[in-house]
Amino acid sequence: MQQISDKTTEQQNLSSKDIDQMSTREVLVTINKEDKTVPYAVEKAIPQIEEFVDAVVASMKKGGRLFYVGAGTSGRLGVLDASEIPPTFSAPNTLVQGIMCGGLSALVTAVEGAEDDYAAGYAVVNERGITKNDCLLGITTSGSADYVHAALKRAKEIGATTGLLVCNTFEKNLHIDVMIQAVVGPEIVTGSTRMKAGTATKLILNMITTTAMIKLNKTYGNLMVDLMTTNKKLWDRGARIIRHCTGTDYDTSMEILKKSGGSVKTALVVALLGIEPDAARKRLEAHEGALREVLEEEGKSLRL
């Protein structure tokens, strides 16, 4: 295995070697200039991201789930992305799950040495009940975290689909189905992978889950129609989506939304087809949640 010191994210960045002598503005400009290179590194990995997303969608259609497993910044970003899926796309909390090396306490306090615990990584797959219908994405900037590789190995033994997201070049091995490499190069502060590598990781995780949710009929166009109203802000957003898509005034939109139990997608069917919420839900279930199909069946469409 390549030595960690040989990884590009561990190399010295020549553009920032005198950063301690720069003015505040110069430091900020230097960081920003380096950050601009991250999307290009992610772009090169799109074919592999696509392959993994397609596997995730196929898995979820069979009742499977997506698990992220990572250490440090990588693990925290996985937990963050997973936690945002339920409120954004009205998905169950179990659909996308983040596994943090060192446990949940490691989200706020570093647990030294946890990423080297191979046995714990192997065991966590059994503890979380991962099955052959699930997908597991390991996230490790350097590709060297033993905890992550152990989890991938055990998941592969079970028959789950496995992927590895790294920000360096890394040789694919037998327990990895899909290798995603976003090679971002040396960091502004040598080895500080919470910076460019962290940005690349967040971009890719957002791409994976957002694309998967779109493919699972969680949007209509680019509108968040599978939104569930869990607070004042989301009730307001839901009513505004209904108003925008149907031309109904705000108060009527809110009334329909309340009648539909806070489900924007159900409310839109109610508003456009003039049916009761129970009937609307049955129509959506018959089309696997595809709002566009339900409406087109009746010659209707939403304003975008």
Where do we find the tokens 């802000």? 233
Q: What is the residue whose two structure tokens read 């009205």? A: 90
Distance CA 194, CA 171 (A): 23
| Residue-level length of the chain | 304
The vertex-64 CA angle with 178 and 89, nearest 5°, equals 95
Cα–Cα distance measured from residue 81 to residue 102, given in angstroms and rounded to the nearest whole number: 18
Candidate list 50, 51, 84, 255, residue with the active-site label: 84
Q: Which residues pair with 178 in a beta bridge?
A: 163
Closest Cα partner for 244 from 274, 217, 272, 284? Answer: 272
Residues 6+ apart with CB under 8 A from 115: 71, 72, 101, 102, 140, 145, 146, 147, 148
Cα–Cα distance list, 27 to 9, 15, 17, 19, 199 (Å): 19, 10, 11, 6, 18
Query: Tokens 């080297």 belong to which residue?
Result: 116
Q: Rounded distance, CA 66 to CA 251, Å?
A: 38
> What span, in angstroms and rounded, lies between the C-alpha atoms of 145 and 113?
10
Other beta carbons within 10 Å of 60? 21
171 is annotated as an active-site residue: no
Q: 51 catalytic, yes or no? A: no
Catalytic machinery residues: 84, 115
